[in-house]
Amino acid sequence: MRTVEWSNGRVRMIDQRRLPWELTYLEFEDYREVAQAITDMVVRGAPAIGATAAFGMALAAQQAPALDMGSVIEFLEVAALIMKKARPTAVNLAWAVDRMMRVAHDDVYSDANEIRRAMLDEAQRIADEDVLINQTMGRHGAALIKDGDTVLHHCNTGALATVDYGTALGVIRAAFEQGKKFHVLLDETRPRMQGGRLSAWELHRLGQPFEVIPDSAAGYYMRRGEVNLVLVGADRIAANGDTVNKIGTYMLSVLAKENKVPFYTVAPTSTIDLNTPSGDQIPIEDRPADEVRTPYGNPLIPEEYPVRNPAFDITPQRYLAGIVTEAGIIHPPFRENLTKAVAMAKAALKV
């Protein structure tokens, strides 16, 4: 099951807003609709957003009406700006768009149709690489999980947050597939309930034992000694190891440190932003207030009450035991070791 894919000249994706009640797919014929789908969280999760943006750019290349290469490139430049604005925090989006534009700007083409074919090939390559990278991360991270452990997980980082397999939830999946016997606690992850809806849906389908808990109960279980490991994903990792992830992650990292529970981030090297020195320079997206007031159409908070709804928070690197990547498990000093990991990954993919 792929979260996003190319299908008969369209971008096809699971509508994650309707899970777990209904598994439905949407198809888009316009790159602007793809960008809006990212904004509206039809698709979410940093790697999935990156692959979706890549397919959106391939779609833009198909849409470009011009026959000459220069005009197609101009059309793609505009599409790239629109795509990058869809969600500002996840670095994979800009990473994928920039990678697609490097292909567009290559000087090996003889006509505009060759650009179009190359863009689609590159988008498919990004999607396929994501699956292989996630499976590799899963194998690395599964070593952290022992029989009898209870793992706490926040948000959704599984197949739905990627093209397939997953990052932090991919580690859990890999350990399950290795035959390990362990339990998972899933934070519900308000206000959009990605843990209670999406991660629970994935683990239920897998057959992995789990329980959904209120976000506010994580500290309770840590203090009781019922949590052995915390695994989370990331939407961006700064050069010093500071991690931006779904709101509530910072709180978990502090609780884990206080209760001496190892806390690991799991993310591909494409999520590492070596151009950003620390988390303080990363923009944090503010989501609509109605996500808090009326989640999924259920009125909970009166409209006249003020609401703030940050989508992410910043976890300082000092709270991390390590960062699981496709290049292995990265430990402090993060600034030096993340640079090495990115170089290793690029050399392996020749990107």
| pLDDT surpassing 80 at residue 66 | no
Tens-digit pLDDT profile for residues 314-343: 999 999 999 999 999 999 999 999 999 999
Q: How far is CA 341 from the centre of its chain?
A: 19
Q: What is the pLDDT of residue 216?
A: 97
Q: Which two tokens stand for residue 194?
A: 């990605």
Based on the residue annotation, tell me whether 235 is a catalytic residue of this protein: yes
Secondary structure element (H or E) that encloses residue 135, with its range: helix 112-142
| pLDDT surpassing 90 at residue 233 | yes
Contact 239, 273 (CB under 8 A): yes
Q: Domain ranges in the chain?
A: 4-130, 135-349
Instruction: Determine the number of helices (DSSP H) and then strands (DSSP E) in the chain.
Output: 11, 14
Confidence of residue 24 (pLDDT cuts 50, 70, 90): very high
| pLDDT surpassing 80 at residue 243 | yes
**Percentage of the chain exceeding pLDDT 70:** 99
Q: What is the pLDDT of residue 91?
A: 85
Q: Identify the active-site residue in 164, 235, 273, 313.
A: 235
Residue-averaged pLDDT of the chain? 95
Separation between Cα atoms, residue 152 and residue 18, nearest integer Å: 24
Q: What is the pLDDT of residue 108?
A: 87
| pLDDT surpassing 60 at residue 153 | yes
Q: Which two tokens stand for residue 285?
A: 């997206």
Separation between Cα atoms, residue 274 and residue 236, nearest integer Å: 10
Secondary structure element (H or E) that encloses residue 348, with its range: helix 334-349
| pLDDT surpassing 70 at residue 351 | no
At the second CATH level, the architecture of 135-349 is 3-Layer(aba) Sandwich (3.40)
Q: How far is CA 32 from the centre of its chain?
A: 21
Tens-digit pLDDT profile for residues 98-144: 999 999 999 888 899 999 999 999 999 999 999 999 999 999 999 99
- The CB density around residue 194, as the number of other CB atoms within 10 Å, is 27
| pLDDT surpassing 90 at residue 67 | no
Q: What is the pLDDT of residue 1?
A: 82
**189 backbone dihedrals φ, ψ, rounded to 5°:** 70, 70
Separation between Cα atoms, residue 69 and residue 112, nearest integer Å: 5
Cis peptide before 295 (omega within 30 of 0): no
Write the CA distances from 17 to 110, 192, 236, 290, 296, integer angstroms. 42, 9, 23, 15, 9
Tens-digit pLDDT profile for residues 197-218: 999 999 999 999 999 999 999 9
Q: Which two tokens stand for residue 238?
A: 């700064």
Q: What is the pLDDT of residue 337?
A: 97
Query: Is pLDDT larger for residue 325 or for residue 89?
Result: 325
Separation between Cα atoms, residue 317 and residue 148, nearest integer Å: 28
Give domain 4-130's CATH superfamily: translation initiation factor eif-2b, domain 1 (1.20.120.420)
Q: What is the pLDDT of residue 227?
A: 98
Confidence of residue 350 (pLDDT cuts 50, 70, 90): low
Separation between Cα atoms, residue 13 and residue 160, nearest integer Å: 10
Averaged pLDDT for residues 235-249: 97
Contact 192, 160 (CB under 8 A): no
